[in-house]
Structure 1
Amino acid sequence: MKVLLVDDHALFAKSLSIALCDFPEIEQFSSTKDIQHLEELIAGELPDILLIDINLGGLTNEDGLMLTKHLLEHFPEQKIVILSGYNLPVYRKEAKRVGAKGFISKDVEPDELLHILLMVNDGATHFPREEVFIEDLTEGEKKVLELVATGAKRKDIAEQLFISERTVSNHLQHIFEKLQVGSTIEAVTKAIQLGYIAPI
């Protein structure tokens, strides 16, 4: 099995290479930071599985999920598995939606990683089961929540988003109901845990 890793952390790439080279099932493991020539590399190496980190740092203006969607338009048969240091429900759901075959947390043990890669290579998918079902927040609700997280008051939020304070209040009420919380602090904390807004 040939595996190609797309990650901006050289140390992680090296660690993964060392961990996987002990397994005879891994015929070839390579890594790249070169997003610009990634399509040429895929066409040349023909990896069985492409491992892509969600957070690609300054390598590209796309995150790993957007990159996955883009690559699958050009290589629809390519098996892509998303890697992330943040094992969040929103990321897992989005990975599935864009067409990835799996989602793996970066703290996975090497033998478990190999097991998942072999399963995906054989045609299976791997997405950890959701512990809780949370109704999706709308784009408007996410924007309100992001501004609440910065400490902005309802009046300021209304001005910034060009909506009325009443609409801001309605958004917050819906957010509280969907996240099953009773305060803005709880809402922000839970939204960070679920991946709706970036950790502050």
Structure 2
Amino acid sequence: MIPMKVLLVDDHALFAKSLSIALCDFPEIEQFSSTKDIHNLEELIAEELPDILLIDINLGRLADEDGLMLTQHLLKHFPKQKIIILSGYNLPVYRKEAKRIGAKGFVSKDIEPDELLRILLMVKEGATHFPREEVFVEDLTEGEKKVLELVATGAKRKEIAEQLFISERTVSNHLQHIFEKLQVTSALEAITKAIQLGYLSPLN
């Protein structure tokens, strides 16, 4: 098997260094490099021709877009590039979006090096890797997501209606649909489950 080249896009220098140390011990890895330079990433890809691109979802202050948006952008210019999304938040919504936009896999940052290598080899050979979904939850609409985000800030129905320029009845309808889709009975349960599923950021 021909050794592979892997390029990591991540804003955490310590994580990048740790991953480099872990992967460079494997003979299957010809080259492991990392970058924080989003603005010159396309030039770097064209220069290094990585077999697989690992992209973190949360790029911090590196870019105006997150790793999912960056992946979507890169695949327009490099449609054959194999990209695996890497994240500290192993959430269903993130995994689903990664698959939808054309990434070849989704990996949690707490993965063991041996398992990561196995996934890298699989993807290099043309396979994909997305963890199986334990629970199916019907997608929330954009309107429902906005209502839920405001509920999480502590806003009341009247305040939500005013901010979104909708009636309180519409807010109530959205909340009812949210409760039904998330299979919960209270706003607190809805917020908790929405964080677990990735509809609300754990950083909020």
Unaligned 5+ runs, structure 1: none
Q: Cα offset for 1:104?
A: 0.1
The reply to whether residue 106 of structure 1 matches residue 75 of structure 2 is no
Select 2:185's aligned residue among 169, 176, 182. Answer: 182
Match of 1:168 in 2: 171
Select 2:200's aligned residue among 184, 194, 197. Answer: 197
The reply to whether residue 88 of structure 1 matches residue 91 of structure 2 is yes
Match of 1:126 in 2: 129
Unaligned 5+ runs, structure 2: none
Select 2:48's aligned residue among 39, 45, 49. Answer: 45
Q: Please list, as runs of the form range in 1=range in 2, the aligned pairs for 1:10-21 lying within 5 A after superposition.
A: 10-21=13-24
Q: Cα offset for 1:44?
A: 0.3
Q: Cα offset for 1:4?
A: 0.1
- Identity, % of aligned pairs? 88
Q: Cα offset for 1:7?
A: 0.1
Match of 1:155 in 2: 158
Three-state SS of the structure 2 residue aligned to 1:58 is helix
Provide the rounded CA distance (Å) in 1 between the counterparts of 2:142 and 2:195.
15
Provide the rounded CA distance (Å) in 1 between the counterparts of 2:8 and 2:201.
24
Superimposed CA distance per residue, residues 148-196 of structure 1 (whole angstroms, 9 cap, x where no aligned partner): 0000000000000000000000000000000000000000000000000
How many residues align structurally?
200
Spell out structure 1 runs of 4+ moving beyond 3 A.
Answer: none
Three-state SS of the structure 1 residue aligned to 2:6 is strand
Provide the rounded CA distance (Å) in 2 between the counterparts of 1:106 and 1:36.
24
Select 1:138's aligned residue among 135, 138, 141. Answer: 141
Provide the rounded CA distance (Å) in 1 between the counterparts of 2:199 and 2:148.
9
Provide the rounded CA distance (Å) in 2 between the counterparts of 1:198 and 1:2.
32
